Structure formats: C-alpha cells, structure tokens
Amino acid sequence: MESQKNYKNFWNEKASTPTGAFIAVDGSTNEETARLTGRYSARQVSLALDLQPGDRVLELGCGVGRIGREIAPRVAHWEGCDISSNMLGVARQRLAGLPNTGFTELHRSSLQPLADASFDKAYCVAVFIHMDKEDFYLYLEDMARVLKPGGLFYFDVWNMASAVGWRRYALEINQYRTADPAQRKDVARNQFSSPEEVRVMLDRAGFDLVLELADSPWVQAIGMRRGGGDLVARRAQAQRDAARIAYTPLWTELFDGLLDVVTGKCEPSSMWKVLADDARGEEIPMFRAWYHGLWKVNENAWGPAPN
Ligand SMILES: C[S@@+](CC[C@H](N)C(=O)[O-])C[C@H]1O[C@@H](n2cnc3c(N)ncnc32)[C@H](O)[C@@H]1O
C-alpha cells in the first residue's frame, strides 16, 4: 500500500479530514475531548520542562496542536513541527488566535529547517513510538543540535518493561503471528522500548538524564543537552514534581481496563461503570469522554453507546 511506504504518506492519509486527524493523534473524536487530554499532557510537559514565560519551545510531531494549544499561551514562542502537512493544517487553524506560534513541515527524520541552539526547551509525545528506532535516534541527535546547551527535552515511548505496557505490546506481537510477511512492515506501526534503551539513546545523542519514569505503560524521560545548565538542580526539581509528571496508577488501571475491552475480556458496559466515579481522580472524566467517543465509532461491534 502506498500509505505504508513513508511516514509522510501514512500520516497525511490519516489526517485527510480533521476528524481523522483528531482520532490519529490520541483517539480523541472531538475538540472537547482533545482539550481534556491536551490539558492533561500539557501539565506533564510544563512540569517536566519547568516552562517559563521567556522560553522558546519546540514540539516535535505536534499533530493537531492538542498539547501546543495549551502550552503556547504560557511561553514566549511555541514552534510545532510535523512530517504531515495535513496535521499542520489542522494545528494552524486551531492555534490561529495565538500569535506567538510557528509551524514547520519536516520531510525526513531531521530538524534541518531549524537553526542550531534556537530553543530553550522541547518535547515530543506519542511520536517516537511510531517510527523505526534509527529515526528515533536521529531525531534525538538533531534535538541536541537545536537546543541551547542546558536545554531540556521531554519525551515518551511505549514501555515494554511494565506489565500493562507488555500487554499492549502483545497485541502487536499477535498480529505478527499470522501477518503476511510481505506486508507486515507498516512504517508507523507501534514500537516498544525499555527504560535502559532510552537511557542509552539519550546518552549517545548528547543528553544527560534528568529524570526517567517507567511505572506505567510509558517510559517518560527528561534529558538535558550537555554543555550547560545545572544538572543537580534540574534533577532535584524534577524529582519533586515526578508524581505529577508521571502517568498515575489510576491512568494505568484505566488503560488496562481498556485493553480488557479491546481483547474481549470484559464488556464495554463494564468499563463504562468504572468510569462513573469522578471522585477517584481527574483521569476519570477525561477517560470517560475519550471512551465515549471510542464507543461511538465502534457501535457496530459494541452496540449502542450510552447517552
Ligand atoms: C500519535 S500523533 C501525536 C501527536 C501529538 N504529539 C499529540 O500528542 O497530540 C503522532 C504525530 O507524529 C507525527 N509524526 C509521525 N512520524 C513522524 C516523523 N517521522 N517525523 C515527524 N513527525 C512525525 C504524525 O504526523 C502525528 O502528527
């Protein structure tokens, strides 16, 4: 298939309509849900990067600007870059009212259009999971180039070392049991990493590790570009904020519940009941909105979605 040949084709096809773009970025089926999940991710990013009003911030793989829309008002400049012009088109529209934003289309795994040492901070959420490890590394190397010495970079990858992360990986492995060997290498297929692998990659690319969190299906890492900055102070601050940067145990439990539904281990309605009690945490209303949208697009298989 043409769409499987390169990242640009793949993601442009996914984002050929605005609704398709929303679903492709994080499964959000509408603006309201994308705002909820965007705010959650933006809180993690803001704390991880210790964002300041004077910061110039880069987002790699910004998609529809789900996170950027929340981050831009807090910083001096927000730049979103992406391989997909269709994604950038939606992001431009969503962030049209924010004058301190810029958009850069990428053409390969390189930040070549961006100048050396031109950003204070950068982040990349749910993007490296969709590319070959070599491209992941090339981006890390280039990220070290575009960040100022001492600049911070926050990103995540799927975590095969967590129990629930492995359960998610098993879904991919199972596809490989029966897939036609000639067709199975979808360029953007989900890839899984381990905390150790992330540490090796960061080190080789020129970053010191500030914080790594791996008690969820995600490895979340903060690196500091070598050559400047106070690593000891950065580490201390990140440790203080770690619980609010991390995906919480409740997030992991809800994601596990979702895997139960997807694998047929429980009924969609059972998960809906789990999502009734807002008192358990902010993740409940966020997952409820997200899950409701997912149910609506799966009504053929799951039956009518609740009102
Ligand atoms: C799952 S979406 C996540 C979007 C956004 N980070 C968010 O969390 O809302 C992945 C995004 O990465 C972009 N992307 C995928 N492969 C890429 C690559 N090799 N280089 C740059 N961007 C890429 C896609 O176009 C898409 O917008």
- What are the DSSP calls for 222-246, one per residue? EEEESSSS-HHHHHHHHHHHHHHHS
- The per-residue DSSP string of 79-148 comes to EEEES-HHHHHHHHHHTTT-TTEEEEE-SSS--TTS-TT-EEEEEE-S-GGGS-HHHHHHHHHHHHHHEE
Q: Which class is domain 2-246?
A: alpha beta
Q: In 10 A of CB 177, how many CB atoms?
A: 6
Q: Output the CA 213–ligand 1 centroid distance in Å.
A: 21
For residue 124, the ligand 1 atom closest to its alpha carbon is 6
**CB-based pocket (< 6 A), ligand 1:** 7, 11, 25-26, 61-63, 66-67, 82-84, 87, 106, 109, 125-127, 130-131, 135
Q: How much is the pLDDT for 4?
A: 57
Pocket test for ligand 1, best of 79, 127, 153, 155 (most atoms within 8 A of CB): 127
pLDDT, tens digit (0-9, with 9 covering 90-100), for 28-76: 999 999 999 999 999 999 999 999 999 999 999 999 999 999 999 999 9
Which residues, in sequence order, are bridge partners of residue 211?
Answer: 222
Q: What is the mean pLDDT of the chain?
A: 96
- Mutate which of 70, 83, 109, 138 for ligand 1? The one with the most ligand atoms within 8 Å of its CB, which is 83
Residue 3 has pLDDT above 50, yes or no: no
Q: What is the pLDDT of residues 133-149, one digit of tens each?
A: 999 999 999 999 999 99
Between CA 243 and CA 108 the distance in angstroms is 35
The arithmetic mean of pLDDT across residues 247-255, rounded, is: 98
CA proximity to 111, closest of 127, 94, 93, 91: 127
CB 27 within 8 A of CB 261: no
Q: Which tokens hold the place of 259?
A: 């895997």
Domain extents in the chain: 2-246, 253-299
The structure's pTM equals 0.97
Give the Cα separation of 249 and 178 in Å (integer): 33
Look at phi and psi of residue 27 and say left if phi exceeds 0, alpha if psi is from -120 to 50, else beta.
left
Residue nearest to atom 8 of ligand 1 (CA): 125
Taking the centre of ligand 1 as the mean of its atom positions, its distance from the CA of residue 233, in whole angstroms, is 31
% residues pLDDT > 70 (the chain): 98
Ligand 1 pocket test: pick from 36, 130, 141 the residue with the most ligand atoms within 8 Å of its Cβ: 130
Backbone φ and ψ for 87, nearest 5 degrees, come out as -60, -45
Q: Stretch 185-202: mean pLDDT, rounded? A: 94
Across residues 13-32, what is the average pLDDT? 95
Instruction: Kindly state the tokens that stand for 266.
Output: 């429980």
- Identify the residue whose tokens are 């088109």: 89
For ligand 1, the distance from its centroid to the CA atom of residue 127, given in whole angstroms, is 5
Average pLDDT in the 101-116 region?
97
Work out the pLDDT band at 180, boundaries 50, 70, 90: confident
pLDDT (mean) for 148-174: 97
pLDDT for the residue numbered 179 = 82
| Average pLDDT value for residue range 276-302 | 95
pLDDT at 2 over 60: no
- Interval 206-226 mean pLDDT: 98
Percent with pLDDT over 90 in the chain: 93
- For ligand 1, what atom is nearest to the CA of residue 63? 27
